[in-house]
Amino acid sequence: METVAPPRFIQGQGTSEACWEPYINASVLPSGTVTDLIHPSGTVHIVAPHPDDEVLGCGGMMQQLSALGVPVCVWAVTDGERSHPPTPGRTMHSLARLRTRESEQALAILSSAICRYAVQLPDGAVSAAEEQLGHYLSMKVKKNDTVFAPWRLDGHPDHEAAARAALYAAQQQGCRFIEVPIWGWHWADPNKGEFPLERALRIPLSADELKRKTLAIHQFHSQLGIDEQTNQAPILPDYALVRYLRSFEVVLL
């Protein structure tokens, strides 16, 4: 983890893609492949704090891994039931079912071989169950596996707690641990040295992989539009989506 962490606020439109481009283009940021990241005989575990995080951060890499015959398991830490406030016509339980269905549909587009497991910790309260989650995940991973989780400074408390728990599990079993920025693209400013570019690696996506990832992301209807019941703005407006629809994904080693 970086030794000095600035305040991490997810507000406004965040750092623009134009600001990121000079730091993450192909001539600056080194590129690699998924085979550089994993042990050839292991399983890849994607730890997703909320339904959609797995696709936003790893939608392209999951396709590549599945095409290589690498087993991929997605651990859905929460069901995302607090992304919108409950209303007379929508309970947290019904929103959880909806978001779970969106995730299942998105993963099916990426690959029929991806396995998804629901941990069902309370949305918004992963920090309180961090130790429990760490022990749970440590029983699911094995020595030659690779664990992907959000960046430990991603800015969302659930993301950071899930990342710490995933790191604990990986360390317990001697697995490789890889971080994937999700909301970190929003709060961090590369001009201020707030992003660990020295640890970053680009994983290029083919045109077909990006097309499938885009289609998968658009399964998350609850996050992409104005909420009809509360008029809440989209969780993933266009200025945020552009960060996940690049022709590459970025991991932190």
pLDDT value at residue 7: 83
Residues 142-162 have a mean pLDDT of 97
Output the CA–CA distances (angstroms, integers) from residue 179 to 34, 101, 196, 230, 249, in the order listed.
13, 26, 11, 34, 11
DSSP H helices, the chain, are 17-24, 53-67, 92-110, 130-138, 157-173, 184-187, 207-217, 221-224, 238-241
Angle of helix 157-173 relative to helix 130-138, nearest 10 degrees, comes to 40
185-244 pLDDT, tens digit each = 999 999 999 999 999 999 999 999 999 999 999 999 999 999 988 999 999 999 999 999
6-36 pLDDT, tens digit each = 789 899 999 999 999 999 999 999 999 999 9
Q: How far apart are CA 177 and CA 142, in angstroms?
A: 12
Query: Could you tell me the pLDDT band of residue 4, with boundaries at 50, 70 and 90?
Result: low
**69 backbone φψ class: left, alpha, beta (φ>0; ψ -120 to 50):** left
53-67 pLDDT, tens digit each = 999 999 999 999 999
Query: Could you tell me the pLDDT band of residue 1, with boundaries at 50, 70 and 90?
Result: very low
| Helix or strand holding residue 78 (H, E) | strand 72-78
Three-state DSSP state, 114: coil
Q: Compute the C-alpha angle 98/99/104, nearest 5°.
A: 100
Q: How far apart are CA 128 and CA 165, in angstroms?
A: 11
Q: Which residue has the higher pLDDT, 1 or 16?
A: 16
Residues 105-119 have a mean pLDDT of 98
pLDDT value at residue 5: 67
